[in-house]
Structure 1
């Protein structure tokens, strides 16, 4: 949704060149508000235990019925590392600890989305779906996943978790992802 009125003083917004780009800015004489755009930051977990990865089955759209890695969106004042720990626990009942970032997807669109995937250490808990966002949860092997309806993006992340998580090197653009990406993906090699 694009705002029509200033969130600071309530005056109408107008399109104006700010910093070399057209942006919505306040028309109020005493106000300096600029709407910088619409963004969302999502996080996802790759929790691996005994050669199996934690997956949850989505009970809601988007992707209802698909098996995905647990994840969600950050809260305004929540550190990203706390977000992913919270999301894993909420969706699966599993406690996990951040090990490192292993992938990033950049998806420019009306609401520009950045998604950060974390490799996580299993700490405790048996997978149990939350009954709201998820209706299934468990640790699954690559062989078991072949018979499951796993979302394409999750297939890419699982490939990273099992095959491309070597230490060092940082993130590089993935020009040949194992599953189609909507946007640009970066992963460890």
Structure 2
């Protein structure tokens, strides 16, 4: 998507070379459109050696089994965003314990996909019948016969066979960052 009008004053944007990159900028004020970005969040929720999966009811990926996830809202901290997404899609309450993976996908909209290992709290999986039409906990053996998306297979492997490391929320950082959430190894 190309920005055509200034988000500050409404003037038609022009293309300028800014720092060696062609960018859309306003000739009437100092607004520069730096690009389009999205932050996706994903969850790997494990209960009794089984992983929570959902079957996508919409494209892209309709019919594929994937890990629950979605997009982080603009005013939402990222770990609470994935907790919301899991609850909305599956009815399962889970809490984010650590970041286990991150995918960087530049493109027309630059997408960053952050995946959390999550602690199961309560609830039995059920689909929301909008974004997903089935949900359940599945063992790696059961997943072998299912139409599971490649990235989800990789994430499940990383979660179940990883070193147990990852980034965790620093509950008491020595650096004061009002409104920020800091994660560390």
TM-score by length of 1: 0.86
Structure 2 SS opposite 1:162: helix
- Residue 85 of structure 2 aligns to a residue whose secondary structure is helix
Match of 1:158 in 2: 156
Deviations 1:23-46 (A, max 9, x none): 110011xx1111000111100000
Moved over 6 A (4+): none
- The answer (yes or no) to whether the contact 2:125–2:137 under 8 Å persists in 1 is yes
Q: How far is 1:76 from its partner?
A: 1.0
Deviation at 1:166, TM superposition (A): 2.2
Query: 69, 81, 92: which is aligned to 2:79?
Result: 81
Q: Distance in 1 between matches of 2:134 and 2:24?
A: 43
1:146 is aligned to: 144
Residues 75-154 of structure 1: matches in 2 within 5 Å?
75-154=73-152
Matches of 1:91 and 1:160, distance apart in 2 = 22
Structure 1 partner of 2:4 = 4
Aligned to 1:61: 59
* Aligned-pair CA distance for 1:20: 3.5
1:185 aligns to what?
none
The alignment partner of 2:59 has SS state of coil
Which residue is equivalent to 2:68? 70
Equivalent pair of 1:89/1:95 in contact (CA under 8 Å):
yes
What runs of 5+ residues in structure 1 fail to find an aligned partner? Answer: 171-189
- Counterpart position of 1:177: none
Partner of 1:173: none
* CA positional deviation for 1:4: 0.7
CA distance in 2, matches of 1:33, 1:76: 20
Deviations 1:77-130 (A, max 9, x none): 111011100000000000000110000001111111110000000001000000
Q: Structure 2 length normalisation: TM-score?
A: 0.87
Give, in whole Å, the separation in 1 of the partners of 2:46 and 2:164.
15
- Would you say the 8 A contact 2:127–2:134 is kept in 1? yes
2:39 match: 41
